[in-house]
Structure 1
Amino acid sequence: MTEPTAVTVLHLAGSSTSDFYADVSRLYAADCLEATAGERYEFHVAYVTPDGRWRFPADLSAAAIDAAEPTDLPGAVARIAALAPDVMVPQMFCVAGMTHYRALFDLLGVPYLGNTPDVMAVGADKARASAVVGARGVRVPASQVVRPGDAVTLDLPVVVKPVDADNSLGVTLVRDAADLPAAVEAACAHAVGARRALVETYVELGREVRCGVVDVDGELVALPLEEYAVDATTKPIRDEADKLRRAEDGELGLVAKDAEHAWIVADDDPVVARVQEAALRCYDALGCRHYGLFDFRVDPDGEPYFLEAGLYCSYARTSVVAVMAGAAGIDLDRLFALAVDDALTSPPASPAARPRPQE
């Protein structure tokens, strides 16, 4: 009997825009490589650095990346063509990585896990994502997109955030109008594209939760909720310090991964059904594929309000979608295999043929 051929998997990591996003990518992707390794897969790594160069290291250690010969885009395309991967796992978290670099693999005809570049672009723009899911009937806070100097017309308090940055960078809760200009400037300083800030009506606590949705053999499954430590007085919103931290050696680490900061909500909690129903609507409205992750603010009456979408999964053991799936009885190996198998049999349609998210 012929032994089955291993699936050649290329993990695309790093960032073309910043060392910070490169470090985030390496943190998650390295764990994915370790956690999902098995006889079925032959893993390879492509790593992009903020100067736009590509490397193909043996692993994601700093030493291996430094030792790998850098190459330009034509050289990288040649390497990828020679490797002929069966599937790519996108591990880049910068906007360019979530969009342009995924689109490159569409052009190369290499299937990949997760959402397509057009869906990622909508999800990365918090104002657009809010408009799309709001049109599908999901509750969203009243909001306004502003630039420095624009008048804010919403009643206070409001939350000011960059339109297109993650990890709570540049997020401020504003209760005094005198603080608005500085908050808008801080948000715009972290904007990835144009200097724009999203100002949203503050949803009183309540609770703050996330809900993942995954495709299990063609059936959408809303996963158990993860709740985050917030307090109406001492911690009304989550900020950058609640998510990532650098150790003394400079390595990036995760904060919101222990019982003090985050926990799985019991299935019989009254909020679960409401949030899961809203998450399924978000997934459908945005046109997601394989997985989606959605943040909600729950008001004192138990009504969930959509905050933002996180349309990526690193398949690391600490990845939120993986943790939620584990709580639902879907272990990481199966979660990864479900997406790999679907990507191999149903690759994304060409960009011109894809339906656009409904706005």
Structure 2
Amino acid sequence: MSEDFGRVGVLYGGCSAEREVSLMSGQGVHAALKSVGVDAYLFDTGKQDLAELMNARFDRVFIALHGRYGEDGTLQGALELMRLPYTGSGPLASSLAMDKIMTKKVWIAQGLPTPKFAILTGESDLAGAMENLGLPLIIKPPHEGSTLGVAKVGRREEMLAAYRQAARYDADVLAEQFIRGRELTVAILGKGRNARALPVIEIVAPAGNYDYEHKYVSNDTQYICPARLDAALSGEIMALSEQAFAALGCEGWGRADFMLDADNRPWLLEMNTSPGMTSHSLVPMGAKAAGMSYAQLCVAILASASCKVQAPPDGPTKQEAT
């Protein structure tokens, strides 16, 4: 079956603030695919351009990029023009999920639970956000991942510094109601009605601080998989993950992040359409709990690679387009 994939490019690295994480993800995916006989090659989109990608003559690509220019729909649009099958969601879903503000607007329109929020366009918006959302609250750049630029604001005097830190990454900044409780995440594999959630994972970080260091470097964070939840609540959270995935039009694979409050109410935080695949990453952990090895997970994701935009009946083939 490995031969059926043809020549495979693993797109990694890139030029986002999450480059270092993507390098680790791509190397892991590449090694796993090679271990099962896939003819796979690493391709660093941060150092190699689209012309080189076209000339590489890949039959499909595995996107192991995180953040801007890899997870946000821009690369997906270019791959559609090349008619080159790729893993994960299409241009629109990738763009929506990458924008935490638009994600929340879609989920709210669909009746899905997500914390209240405010959009900060300048320092004059800070006082109003604190009044409407209360303290503590969370400050985030809406187009970054890996907790980059994220801060918890517990006191009024902390707000300006937190805003300015997030504004280094984005012109508009997201202020979000703080939900006190347990941090959960759920991976989803598949498409449409066939998309299925993997077991729920609970993240227990030192002092509740699941930052970049505790995600990718430190071994102090505990991961409990499956999470210690009763069957009904676990099923509710898994179903909510699938609904959130479908609401954004996602496919292939993804990961939904939650907070579970003291009343056992789950709150959706964000959707990742190209999650990490490092040794500390959560999707491989959920897959393992479901009986799937890291290599099997990589193959399953690769097998779902496709172009999402329907080409016209007389449109160009991939070879003609390139």
Q: Deviations over 1:231-280 (max 9, x none)?
A: 7xx43x533332233xxxxxxxxx3xx58422211474553122112101
Counterpart of 1:13, as a letter, is Y
Distance 2:184 2:3 in 1: 42
Bigger RCO (CA 8 Å, 6+ sep) = 2
2:179 aligned with 1:203:
yes
Counterpart of 2:149, as a letter, is G
Contact conserved, 1:315 with 1:322, CA < 8 A, in 2? yes
Residue 47 and residue 301 in structure 1: after superposition, are their counterparts in 2 closer, same or farther (change >3 A)? Answer: same
Distance 2:216 2:276 in 1: 16
Distance 2:311 2:166 in 1: 32
Counterpart of 1:289, as a letter, is E
2:269 aligned with 1:307:
yes
Alignment match, 2:68: 95
Alignment match, 1:282: 244
Q: TM-score, normalised by structure 2?
A: 0.85
Distance 1:330 1:340 in 2: 14
Distance 2:114 2:192 in 1: 30
Distance 2:168 2:39 in 1: 41
Alignment match, 1:243: 215
Residue 342 and residue 230 in structure 1: after superposition, are their counterparts in 2 closer, same or farther (change >3 A)? Answer: closer
Contact conserved, 1:113 with 1:339, CA < 8 A, in 2? yes
Distance 1:201 1:333 in 2: 38
Q: Report % sequence identity.
A: 21
Residue 45 and residue 156 in structure 1: after superposition, are their counterparts in 2 closer, same or farther (change >3 A)? Answer: same
Alignment match, 2:11: 12
Contact conserved, 2:187 with 2:254, CA < 8 A, in 1? yes
Alignment match, 2:24: 27
2:295 aligned with 1:333:
yes
Distance 2:164 2:75 in 1: 29
Distance 2:83 2:239 in 1: 35
Q: TM-score, normalised by structure 1?
A: 0.77
2:199 aligned with 1:220:
no
Distance 2:239 2:27 in 1: 33
Contact conserved, 2:204 with 2:222, CA < 8 A, in 1? yes
Q: Which moved more, 1:267-276 or 1:91-100?
A: 267-276
Alignment match, 1:145: 119
Alignment match, 1:188: 167
Size of the alignment, in residue pairs? 304
3-state SS, counterpart of residue 243 of structure 1 = helix
- Measured after TM superposition, the shift of residue 33 of structure 1 is 1.2
- Measured after TM superposition, the shift of residue 335 of structure 1 is 2.6
Distance 2:307 2:33 in 1: 21
2:227 aligned with 1:262:
no
Alignment match, 1:349: 309
Counterpart of 2:187, as a letter, is G
Residue 313 and residue 197 in structure 1: after superposition, are their counterparts in 2 closer, same or farther (change >3 A)? Answer: closer
| Structure 2, gaps ≥5 residues long | 313-322
Q: Deviations over 1:65-124 (max 9, x none)?
A: xxxxxxxx4xx52x4344321101112213112222222111111100111122111111
Contact conserved, 1:148 with 1:185, CA < 8 A, in 2? no
Distance 1:349 1:275 in 2: 30
Alignment match, 1:106: 80
Alignment match, 2:315: none
Counterpart of 2:96, as a letter, is V
Alignment match, 2:256: 294
Higher helix share: 2
Q: Deviations over 1:123-150 (max 9, x none)?
A: 1111111111222222111100102312
| Structure 1, gaps ≥5 residues long | 55-72, 246-254, 353-359
Alignment match, 1:248: none
Distance 2:175 2:311 in 1: 32
Contact conserved, 1:317 with 1:323, CA < 8 A, in 2? no
3-state SS, counterpart of residue 141 of structure 1 = coil
Q: Which moved more, 1:144-153 or 1:282-291?
A: 144-153
Distance 1:160 1:217 in 2: 32
